[in-house]
């Protein structure tokens, strides 16, 4: 393992449990199951390092579906790169942090982290990705936004 990955894991292991514990469902009310579907995110990809550049980017007909129970520390995110035949959905587990204004989902990989902040009242999501790219031989990032449909049961 590389040092940046260890630092990321250490930071997440120290910060996330504190945030999750602070959000708990202490009002005694039943938790709501929430699903949000966010379509066609658009934004930009950023390449860091000596050859830094920013390019428009997006997911075309792609979508992200978020499913979780309010007050829980985990969620499921299903992403699909497009609506064309052959586009295979991908399911990810995410850590959840709820605030009064938005819900943030963290998806951790060995060389990357994706952060999805869903603004329920605005029905929109802000997605950032942070990657240590071997292919680009540099840090690679992205920032995207999309409109969402939100349903709670």
Domains present along the chain, CATH in parentheses: 3-23+32-152 (2.40.160)
State pTM to two decimals: 0.78
Contacts of 4 (CB under 8 A, 6+ apart): 132
In angstroms, the CA 48 to CA 89 distance is 29
**pLDDT bracket for residue 22 (50, 70, 90):** very low
Here the tokens at position 141 are 């990032």
DSSP for 95-144, written as a single string: EEEE-SS-EEEEEE-SSEEEEEEEETTTTEEEEEEEEEETTTTEEEEEEE
**Cβ-contact 77, 116 below 8 angstroms:** yes
pLDDT digits (tens, 9 = 90+) for 35-92: 999 999 999 999 988 788 999 887 778 899 999 999 999 999 999 987 666 678 999 9
Torsional sign, CA 149, 96, 94, 141: positive
What per-residue confidence (pLDDT) applies to 91? 96
What whole-number distance in Å separates Cα of residue 142 and Cα of residue 128? 5
Closest CA to 61 of 39, 86, 45: 39
């Amino acid at each position: 393992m590389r040092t940046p990955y260890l630092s990321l894991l250490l930071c997440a292991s120290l910060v996330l449990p504190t945030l999750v514990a602070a959000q708990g469902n202490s009002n005694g009310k039943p938790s709501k199951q929430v699903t949000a579907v966010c379509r066609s995110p658009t934004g930009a990809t950023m390449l860091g390092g000596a050859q830094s550049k920013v390019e428009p980017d997006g997911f075309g007909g792609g979508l992200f579906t978020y499913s979780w129970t309010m007050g829980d520390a985990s969620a499921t995110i299903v992403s699909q790169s497009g609506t064309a035949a052959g586009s295979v959905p991908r399911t990810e587990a995410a850590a959840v942090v709820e605030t009064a204004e938005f819900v943030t989902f963290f998806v951790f990989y060995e060389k990357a982290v994706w952060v999805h902040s869903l603004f329920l009242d605005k029905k929109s999501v802000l997605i950032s990705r942070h990657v240590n790219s071997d292919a680009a031989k540099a840090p690679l990032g992205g920032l995207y936004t999309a409109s969402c449909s939100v349903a709670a049961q």
